[in-house]
Structure formats: C-alpha cells, structure tokens
Amino acid sequence: MNKLDRLNRFYKVVDRGELGDSEVIEHFKELNMIIPAPWSSDKYIVYIGKGKPEWAKLRRSLKVDTRIRKPNCDAYSYPDTTTLDKVGKDKLMKTNLREVKRIGKHLEHLTGLPITRNTIMVAGEKNRRFCKSGISGYHIAHYHNTEPARICFRPMFLINPVYPTQQKCRNCNKRHIRYMLTLDRKWFKLSPTPEISRRVTKILALIDCTCHELAHHMTKGHGVEFQKKYILLFSTMLNDIISGKYYIERIN
C-alpha cells in the first residue's frame, strides 16, 4: 500500500497548481487546512473533514519526518532554462532585453532618462567599456550614476527573470531563489495602486526590476524619493498594461 492509499476519507491529495497562487496557499496554511505532502514538493494534503484536522496522527500513519521545513524553501528545482544551449539562452536574453528597453522607453516621460541605444544593456565582456566593474554577488542589475546614465542587467536575469540567479539556497542547497518584488522588501514602506498579486511572472519581474533601476535616476539610495518614483513608474506600467495602452503603443 502506497502513501496515497493510506490517506483516509478526511484528507485529499491535490497538486500545488489546483490551490491557486501563493497567497491562497498561505491563507489555507493559516487556517490549518493544508500541509505539504512529505513525498512530493508539488503536492499538498488538504483536510476535507469536519472539526480540527489531526495532522500529527496523519504524519505518524505515513511514517514521515515531522521536522518543519525552514521558511523560503519551496524545494523547487531550478527551471529548464539551465538545460538550454547557448543559442537558446542568447535568444531569451535578447528578447527580454528588448522588453526592458521598451519599458524604459514607455516611461521615458516620467523618468527624465533618455533611452538611447546604450542606455540599457547586458553586463558582460562585450560591454565592459560601459560596465567596467560588472555585477557582483546576488545583484541582478544596477544603475550607473554617470554621464550619460546607464542601466546594466545580469545575463541570467534576462534569461530567466522569475528565477534570476543560479545561486543555491543557504537553507536547503537547492536552486529555487525566486525574484522578490521591490515593494516586498523590508525597507520599502509605500504601497502601489492598483494592488497586485504577489505571484511573480516573467513580465512582472522585468517591469519591477526596470522600474527599480529607472527610479534611481536623480534620486539617492532607496529613500523616500526613490520609493515615490518607483511607485509612480511601477503603478503607471501596471495601469498601462491593464488598459492595453502599453501594447497598443508597441503596435503603433
């Protein structure tokens, strides 16, 4: 008898995708209605009975380790982009570079930063004369406060914006470090309009990172002025995508 057969009629095994986004999953966890399936990172056990679930008893019946997994460890493996050949990676990188340049051009009237051929680029050997120091550590992009000002992106971020680095998690040694939105960082105090889902998609990661770097133009650090400018840029992009203005501009 396998683990699934040993679950009684009060519990149900479902795929992670059936539960919705991360906010829904966290809500069910707070209600104590679900737990991660110990044998698979892509499945959850849902309580469908009445009264309080007996998770401890269920775990004992499944003979699993009851240690709580450290936070932020989704146990997702690094996505398939790591298996792409150089041609595939270069194609993805160029596609997403064009997208961030379009975002920069779309917001040009708000940033005060003219977007020319070399304003936004990939940090690498080919562009070393524009970005001498390169991008170090976990950073995925940076703003050059030079004349003219420039923004450089790490190649891996442009290849896979949702999982922007190949760094391994310090807790579980797996590659699942996801992109974190600027407004989710501890030092960020303001809120965007409209409110958004915290589920990070490729386009949302590209928009957020581009708006973050553009907000550094004519501001200092990550202070209030930076945050106000970021919110203006980020909210404008969200509204223009929702209204279709951003895509209509591209067609025209």
Looking at residue 80, its pLDDT comes to 44
Local confidence band at 194 (pLDDT 50, 70, 90 cut-offs): low
pLDDT at 7 over 60: no
Instruction: Tell me the mean pLDDT in the region 41-59.
Output: 80
Instruction: Tell me the mean pLDDT in the region 74-79.
Output: 43
d(CA 205, CA 153): 12
Local confidence band at 252 (pLDDT 50, 70, 90 cut-offs): low
Local confidence band at 73 (pLDDT 50, 70, 90 cut-offs): low
pLDDT at 71 over 70: no
Q: Domain ranges for the chain, please list them.
A: 11-62, 80-251
Looking at residue 70, its pLDDT comes to 43
d(CA 48, CA 14): 12
Q: What is the DSSP letter of 51?
A: S
- 59 or 231: which carries more pLDDT confidence? 231
d(CA 157, CA 209): 10
d(CA 29, CA 41): 15
- 206 or 10: which carries more pLDDT confidence? 206
In tens, the pLDDT along 32-49 reads: 888 888 777 678 888 887
Inter-residue contact 212 to 182 (CB < 8 Å): yes
d(CA 161, CA 112): 25
Inter-residue contact 148 to 113 (CB < 8 Å): no
Looking at residue 167, its pLDDT comes to 65
d(CA 88, CA 128): 23
Joined tokens for residue 118: 């070399």
In tens, the pLDDT along 117-143 reads: 889 999 876 766 677 666 766 788 999
d(CA 61, CA 72): 27
In tens, the pLDDT along 158-184 reads: 998 987 766 666 666 666 667 888 988
Four-residue CA torsion sign, 78, 84, 86, 87: negative
- pTM for the model stands at 0.65
pLDDT at 67 over 60: no
Looking at residue 212, its pLDDT comes to 96
Instruction: Tell me the mean pLDDT in the region 227-250.
Output: 90
Chain centroid offset of residue 221 CA: 22
The torsion angles phi and psi of 45, rounded to 5 degrees, stand at -100, 125
Looking at residue 147, its pLDDT comes to 87
In tens, the pLDDT along 94-119 reads: 999 999 999 999 999 999 999 998 89
